[in-house]
Chains A and B, each alone.
Chain A
Amino acid sequence: MDVETFWAALLSGTTGAAKIESFDPSPFSVRIGCEVRGLALESASEPRPGRAALLAAAAGRQALAQAGLAGASRTDVALSIGTTMGESCWLEAWDPADVRAGTVPAEELVRSGPDQVGRDVAAELGLGGRVTVLAGACAAGNYALGHALDLIRLGRADVVLAGGTDAFSRVAFTGFARLGALAAEACRPFSADRDGLVLGEGAALLVIESAARAAARGAAPLAELAGIGLSCDAFHIVSPDPRGRGAARAMAAALEDARADPGEIGYLSAHGTGTLANDRAEVVAARAVFGKGGPPMSSIKAITGHGLGAASALEAVACVQALLEQIAPPTWNFTRADPDCDWDAIPNEPRELKLGVVLSNAYAFGGANASLVLRAA
């Protein structure tokens, strides 16, 4: 899917949520997910890269083309990519008898190490720079984008292709099902009747370079990646701190890193998974940073589902589009306000806003928080 189609879907409320086809969902009470369909993931490489790498390679080709680097030498292009657990596609396809006996395909086991995603994406795209794979689960995209920012600032790379990827995974689906985190029918972030997340998949990559380098090659930047803020709840391995202290510190750190005042933020791209605990804690955190009259905040996960490592990279793309178009994507599937999430969630209708600076949140297992600040170019 290209950026225009993605953006149009966010504005029109077109979701990919449907009955799962990539595996038999009948053992589960929840059977919906957001799977990428109708996209030919071709590769000439042998052995064939995994689905997470191929999704990322498809996204990377688009990003390089849009940045005017399609035909350019990529020997100096670095890769910073985030994922939850790398490729689980091989393992999930193993013969159940082999799995029970523990006699599993050795090469595929070795390639199940998450670093394989980075090697495969770099090979598919012919990137010659350093390859960094960051594990950041549901915040991995922001981790990878933030790392790209550091690499540029410190002069360790000239141009970085950065973002996140995760393939639709039976293991992940099972895990979230066992945690009781899956929505029965739809993801309804910040709604009073929300009942969980809808698992998704995907990839999004962005070309990050210094303003000087972009100017020197005559490229027009889409937006400025202005700051990153990281923190850890140090609270619980899967549950957010209900007081939102870590999330608030990540937002504050990102604002400080971008030298932006809270009052400049015109739109907040929420992590907004649609679970009771996440959305409540995120609002508490936003209130700590912005006070009660903070910027409107929406979650696109009602449309995209939760793409795990891809999620915050997809949301960064949405933020760039919001800055370019001066429109905030809404929170779709919103039914009624939750007193515990007392915040303007931009329900069900895109909103024209004057946007100079936006902030995007991502929170992960392990209490890992990563917030990004993006500024209009």
Chain B
Amino acid sequence: MRGAGWITPDRDFDVAEHLELRGLRPLARASRLACVAAAAALRHPEPLPAAPERCAVVLGTRFASVEPLVEFNRVAVTDGPGLVSPSSFPNVVVNAHAGYLGILFGLAGPNVTFCGESAGLEALGHALDLLELGRADAVLAGGVEAYGETLYEGLRRAGAEEPEEAAAFVLLSRDGTGPRLDRAGIDEVVAGGGTGAAAGALVPVHALESLLAS
């Protein structure tokens, strides 16, 4: 599908096999998965569809920061705060994942991150708003959730459904190129306060499959 990319990898998924970009080493798994799906949606390394400062990123996630947060705290508690790698700190900051997309693909427009069960859909809806309000000419929008050992074990013990990791992005343009989205469907879910999906269920991939109108 032109302008869309998604992955639902298994635990052995090796990002490096799918993406040749320098400087990926400090990135959390969520950022890496997002990069792979984003690269597909952007058809990287093809030129961007608009001037870099007119290209926005909108990301939705619920738990992308939690495993990095747990791991950061674990190293600080176990080895001492002086032994935590400074480069691991941005990964606990939720919007860093979208920040990496901006840096790696040179997208210098608005860079926005939503959090929640339906954050992937909020991201798609907000992408349409950015285009409507003229804040961007193209928007890379989607969502990501990533596997984490402590996170997944915790979700299971908390009674959540078997969590699922994935990343999905679409590239939307002001001139109407790219996938067409069902705006009413997005609004209905977002305004309803969520999908009712259990913790860890990933909205964007399924949403993309059902919401892509063309």
Contact = CB atoms under 8 A, between A and B. Distances in A.
B147 interface: no
B99 A365 contact: yes
Given A102-B149, A366-B96, A230 B103 contact: no
Contact of A134 (B63, B114, B157, B191): B114
B93 interface: yes
Given A91-B70, A102-B150, A134-B115, A368 B122 contact: no
Contacts of A92: 73
B65 interface: yes
Contacts of B149: 102
A263 to B, nearest CB: 23
Contacts of A88: 69, 73
Nearest to B148: A109
Contacts of A28: 81
Interface string B67-92: 00110111011101110111001101
Interface in B103-142: 103, 106-117, 119, 122, 126, 129, 132-133, 135
B103 A85 contact: no
B95 A137 contact: yes
A253 interface: yes
18 contacts: A27-B82, A85-B65, A85-B92, A85-B93, A96-B78, A106-B157, A106-B158, A110-B154, A112-B70, A135-B113, A135-B114, A137-B93, A140-B95, A156-B191, A230-B109, A232-B111, A246-B108, A366-B99
Interface string A214-255: 000000000000000011111111100000001001000100
A14 interface: no
A170 B78 CA distance: 14
Interface string B12-38: 000000000000001000000000000
A28 B76 CA distance: 12
B190 interface: yes
The 3 closest A-B pairs by CB, nearest first: A366-B99, A135-B94, A175-B89
B111 A230 contact: yes
A357 B69 CA distance: 40
B20 to A, nearest CB: 19
Contacts of B150: 102, 104, 109
Interface stretch (A66-74, A113-121, A198-206): A113-121
A157 to B, nearest CB: 9
Contacts of B190: 130
Contacts of B7: none
A367 B102 contact: yes
A179 interface: yes
Given A91-B73, A175-B89, A368 B151 contact: no
A178 B88 CA distance: 10
Contact of B93 (A102, A112, A180, A366): A366
Nearest to B72: A171
Contact of B53 (A136, A231, A368): A231
A291 to B, nearest CB: 21
Interface in B34-65: 52-53, 56-57, 62-63, 65
A118 B194 CA distance: 13
Given A109-B158, A150-B133, A237-B90, A178 B81 contact: yes
Contacts of A130: 190-191, 193
Contacts of B211: none
Given A102-B149, A118-B116, A179 B155 contact: no
B53 A249 contact: yes
Contacts of B69: 85, 88, 91, 112, 171
Interface in A243-274: 246, 249, 253, 257
A232 B96 CA distance: 11
A1 B119 CA distance: 32
A208 to B, nearest CB: 16
Interface string B181-201: 000000100110100000100
A237 B98 CA distance: 10
A369 B26 CA distance: 22
Given A28-B81, A135-B113, A364 B74 contact: no
B6 interface: no
A177 interface: yes
A133 interface: yes
A168 interface: no
B115 A135 contact: yes
B90 A174 contact: no
A147 to B, nearest CB: 8
B117 A115 contact: yes
A92 B76 CA distance: 10
Contacts of B86: 175, 178-180
Contacts of A190: none
A65 interface: no
A2 interface: no
Contacts of B111: 230-232, 366-368
